Amino acid sequence: MSDVQQAPTTAAHRLAGRRVLVIGAGTRPSDDPEAPVGNGRAIAVLAAREGAAVACADISAEAAGATAGLVGAEGADALTIVGDATDPEQASAMIAEARRRLGGLDALVVNVGVGLGSGLANTSPQDWERVLSLNLDAPFLAAKHGLPELADGGAIVLIGSVAGLRAATNSPAYDSSKAALFGLVRHVAKEGAPRAIRANLVVPGLIDTPMGRGASARRPARTASFERIPLGRQGTAWEVAEAVTFLLSDRASYITGQSLVVDGGLSAV
């Protein structure tokens, strides 16, 4: 993807020696040769650029493998792991495999999400269950199985959404699931604290990703909302990745149980 070349360059190596698992590391396929990179892929590539070995996990073997190839191109150790993050056994197995193949695990990022339904009237119970399964159950399972596997002093970052702060979409299931992550990350931070394992939430706003472009195509009102962003533009996956990298690094060593909003000021107006 062309946007990979736009990833920030750095000599800081903030994650040197770290072993990182990114669940949801793939990017949704697109026929557009100029399609932007997704959040998960940007997070994995920037972690590699910062010196980490990265396990790229996704339900799609092709998507995970493509990200692992980009990680390897940065000169970092790269692994491909395939599994369904909503399945308890597969979630546990992915984390155990990453730990085994990397020789340990220092950080875990959970980047998953889907939105289904339109308003209360047009959201079926099946829509509700599917959205909560991916958006909430998967981060819960990753934290449940990941916390015991992480080395002391490790870090967990969950990826939420500005929809958790306001009724930002037409999907009540999406908004509710993303709001619940604020409570989940505080609990994970509390349980991880005795071993100095930090847990934080990154909260993206309107980000130019393949998923974001798909949402705009289905819902023109989303494009109209760009005008309300105080900084006057959408964000990029690389800007989300920068926030994640910071929270995984020692520069955020006294930050846990918190949320870092990356939305250009949208939630402030």
Distance of alpha carbon 38 from alpha carbon 139, whole angstroms: 18
Distance of alpha carbon 28 from alpha carbon 15, whole angstroms: 26
- Decide if 89 is inside a domain: yes
Q: Could you list the beta-strand ranges (E) of the chain.
A: 19-23, 53-58, 78-82, 107-110, 155-159, 198-204, 207-208, 235-236, 259-262
- Decide if 118 is inside a domain: yes
Confidence of residue 168 (pLDDT cuts 50, 70, 90): confident
State both tokens at 172.
């009540």
> Is 174 annotated as catalytic?
yes
pLDDT in tens, 24-79: 999 877 777 778 899 999 999 999 999 999 999 999 999 999 999 999 999 999 99
Round the average pLDDT of the chain to a whole number and report it: 92
What average pLDDT does the segment 260-265 reach?
A: 96
Annotated catalytic residue, options 23, 145, 158, 174: 174
- Decide if 109 is inside a domain: yes
Among 70, 99, 85, CA closest to 2: 70
Question: Looking at 32-41, 79-88, 100-109, 122-131, which range is the least confident one?
Answer: 32-41
- Decide if 3 is inside a domain: no
Distance of alpha carbon 239 from alpha carbon 36, whole angstroms: 13
Q: How many domains does the chain have?
A: 1
Confidence of residue 112 (pLDDT cuts 50, 70, 90): very high
What pairing do the DSSP bridges indicate for beta strands 53-58 and 78-82? parallel
Range of the domain at 129: 14-268
Q: Residues near 75 by Cβ (< 8 Å), separated by ≥ 6?
A: 48
Residue 218 has pLDDT above 50, yes or no: yes
- Decide if 5 is inside a domain: no
- Number of other residues whose CB lies within 10 A of the CB of residue 220: 9
What average pLDDT does the segment 135-140 reach?
A: 97
- Decide if 200 is inside a domain: yes
- Decide if 202 is inside a domain: yes
- Decide if 7 is inside a domain: no
CATH of the domain at 165: 3.40.50.720
The 8 Å CB, 24+ separation contacts for 164-168 are 164/203, 165/203, 165/261, 165/267, 166/267
